[in-house]
C-alpha cells in the first residue's frame, strides 16, 4: 500500500561516512553529540532543484556511480526482513544508517554460534554496507534525535508492531510533519489493519499461516520449514523494490509517501500458481517433496552416490531425457506422450526413471546431460556451492570476507 504525503520536500544532501560499519556508537539517552553533529554538518548543504532530492551525487562522468548514490536511508529495522531490504539498497549505493538499541544492538548480534570473533555471522550476513548508531528511542532525547535524522534522510524504514512508534512520536504522520519528502516504509507481520495486526511477525509463523509450510515437505510427511527464512527474504525483496518505486514516485510528484509491507501478504503473493489453483479451480494444495504438481518429470532423483535434479518442461525435453537414459521405449509410450499424460501417470513413470538414475554416479549423469538443452544439476552442499566453477556472483564474495568491524560499547 502506498499513501501519498503532502507538503514540499526538504532540500538537503546526504553526507560522508560518520561511523565505523557495522558497530553502534556508544549512547546513553541518545547518540553521541559528535556523531550527530557530523551528520548535521554533512547534511546541511542544499541540493540541486527538481522533483527529487539529489543527495550527495558524485561528479558528472564518475565511473563508479551506483543507482542509489546520494540516497540516505534511516534504518530502524531488526532481525532479517528489514535488514535484508536495506542491505540490498546499500549494495546499490544508498547510505544506510542503522539504528540499534544501546548495549545490545540488533537481536541477531547474539544469534550464534557461529561467531566471527565476537560478532554473530548471522548478523554480518545481512548488515553489510551500513553505518550504525545506538539510540534509546524510548527516551525523549533519543526520539528527538530520530526525528532530526529523519529530517535529513530520504527513506525511513521500520519494523515495529503498528502503533508502537506512534507512541514515541515517530509514526508516519509524525515524521511527515517534519519531513514531508520522506519515503516511510513499515514492515510488519500482518499489515496495518485486521484482527492479527498486533501480533509480532516471525518468519516461521508467517510461513505457517500463509500456507507455505503446508506445501513444503515430503509428499507423505509432515510440514517442513524451508532451509532459509524465505518469507522474511521475500518480504525484504518486495520492500526494497517498493522503496525504489517510492523514490521514483517522489521524483515525479515531489511528495513523500507511506509504504506498507508485511510478511503474510508477501508470502501469499509468492504462492503464485498454488494460490491460483485453489482460487480458480478449488484444488487444495499438497506437499510434493522435490517434485512439481503440474510438471513431470521435474524433481530430484537418487543416483548411485548422491542426487541429480532434472526438469522436462516440454515434450521435446522429455524425449531427450529418455534418450540420455537410454529409454527410447518410454518416450514412445502412449501414457507419457504429453505432460498432462505424464502428470496423470506420474508414479509409474517416476519409478522407471528412478531405477535408471540409480545405476550411475552423479558425475556420470552430469556429463551425459551436458549440452542436452535439458535443465539439470546436482544437489550441492555449501562447500560445493562456493567451489563451483560457475561463480555465484559478487554477493557470494562479500560473504566470504569478514570486513573489519567493532563491537558495541
Catalytic residue ranges: 232
What single-letter DSSP state applies at residue 260? E
Specify the residue for cell string 500463509: 210
Please check whether residue 157 is in contact with residue 75, taking contact to mean a CB–CB distance below 8 angstroms: yes
Helix (H, G, I), strand (E, B) or coil at 148: helix
Nearest to 292, CA basis, from 334, 242, 335, 346:
346
CA–CA gap between residue 256 and residue 276 (Å, rounded): 34
Q: Dump strand ranges (E) for 222-291.
A: 257-262
Please check whether residue 113 is in contact with residue 15, taking contact to mean a CB–CB distance below 8 angstroms: no
Calculate ∠ Cα 295-301-304, nearest 5°.
Answer: 165
- Torsion, Cα of 330, 331, 332, 333 (10° steps): 50
- The distance of Cα 139 from the centroid of its chain, to the nearest Å, equals 31
CA–CA gap between residue 305 and residue 362 (Å, rounded): 6
Q: Are strands 72-75 and 155-158 parallel, antiparallel or unpaired?
A: parallel
Q: Which residues contact 401 (CB under 8 A, 6 or more apart)?
A: none
* Cell numbers describing residue 317: 525435453
Rg of the Cα trace of the chain?
25
Amino acid at each position: 500500500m502506498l499513501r501519498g504525503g503532502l507538503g514540499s520536500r526538504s532540500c538537503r544532501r546526504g553526507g560522508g561516512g560518520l561511523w565505523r560499519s557495522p558497530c553502534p556508537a556508544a549512547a546513553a539517552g541518545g547518540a553521541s553529540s559528535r556523531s550527530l553533529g557530523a551528520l548535521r554538518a554533512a547534511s546541511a548543504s542544499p541540493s540541486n532543484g527538481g522533483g527529487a532530492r539529489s543527495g550527495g551525487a558524485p561528479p558528472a562522468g564518475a565511473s563508479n556511480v551506483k543507482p542509489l548514490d546520494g540516497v540516505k536511508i534511516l534504518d530502524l529495522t531488526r532481525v532479517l526482513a528489514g535488514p535484508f531490504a536495506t542491505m540490498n539498497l546499500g549494495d546499490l549505493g544508498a547510505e544506510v544508517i542503522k539504528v540499534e538499541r544501546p548495549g545490545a544492538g540488533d537481536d541477531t548480534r547474539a544469534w550464534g554460534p557461529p561467531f566471527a570473533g565476537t560478532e554473530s555471522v548471522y548478523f554480518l550476513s545481512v548488515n553489510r554496507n551500513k553505518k550504525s548508531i545506538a539510540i534509546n528511542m524510548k527516551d525523549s532525547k533519543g526520539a528527538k534525535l530520530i526525528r532530526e535524522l529523519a529530517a535529513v534522510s530520504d527513506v525511513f524504514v521500520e519494523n515495529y508492531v503498528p502503533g508502537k512508534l506512534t507512541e514515541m512520536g515517530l509514526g508516519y504522520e509524525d515524521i511527515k510533519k517534519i519531513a514531508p519528502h520522506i519515503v516511510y516504509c513499515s514492515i510488519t507481520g500482518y499489515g496495518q489493519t485486521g484482527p492479527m495486526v498486533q501480533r509480532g511477525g516471525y518468519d516461521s509463523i508467517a510461513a505457517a499461516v500463509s500456507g507455505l509450510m503446508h506445501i513444503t515437505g515430503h509428499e507423505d510427511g509432515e510440514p517442513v520449514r524451508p532451509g532459509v527464512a524465505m518469507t522474511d527474504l521475500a518480504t525484504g525483496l518486495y520492500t526494497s523494490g517498493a522503496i525504489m518505486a517510492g523514490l521514483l514516485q517522489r521524483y515525479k510528484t515531489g511528495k513523500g509517501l507511506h509504504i506498507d509491507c508485511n510478511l503474510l501478504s508477501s508470502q501469499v503473493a509468492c504462492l503464485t500458481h498454488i494460490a491460483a489453483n485453489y482460487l480458480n479451480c478449488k484444488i487444495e494444495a499438497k506437499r510434493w517433496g522435490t517434485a512439481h504438481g503440474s510438471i513431470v518429470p521435474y524433481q530430484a532423483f537418487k543416483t548411485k552416490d548422491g542426487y541429480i535434479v532434472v526438469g522436462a518442461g516440454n515434450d521435446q525435453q522429455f524425449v531427450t531425457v529418455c534418450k540420455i537414459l537410454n529409454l527410447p521405449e518410454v518416450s514412445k509410450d502412449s501414457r507419457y506422450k504429453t505432460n498432462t499424460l505424464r502428470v496423470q501417470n506420474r508414479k509409474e513413470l517416476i519409478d522407471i526413471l528412478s531405477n535408471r538414475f540409480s545405476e550411475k554416479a552423479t558425475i556420470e549423469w552430469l556429463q551425459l546431460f551436458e549440452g542436452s538443452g535439458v535443465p539439470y544439476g546436482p544437489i550441492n552442499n555449501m562447500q560445493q556451492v562456493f567451489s563451483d566453477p560457475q561463480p555465484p556472483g559478487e554477493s557470494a564474495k562479500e560473504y566470504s570476507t569478514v570486513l573489519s568491524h567493532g563491537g558495541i560499547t
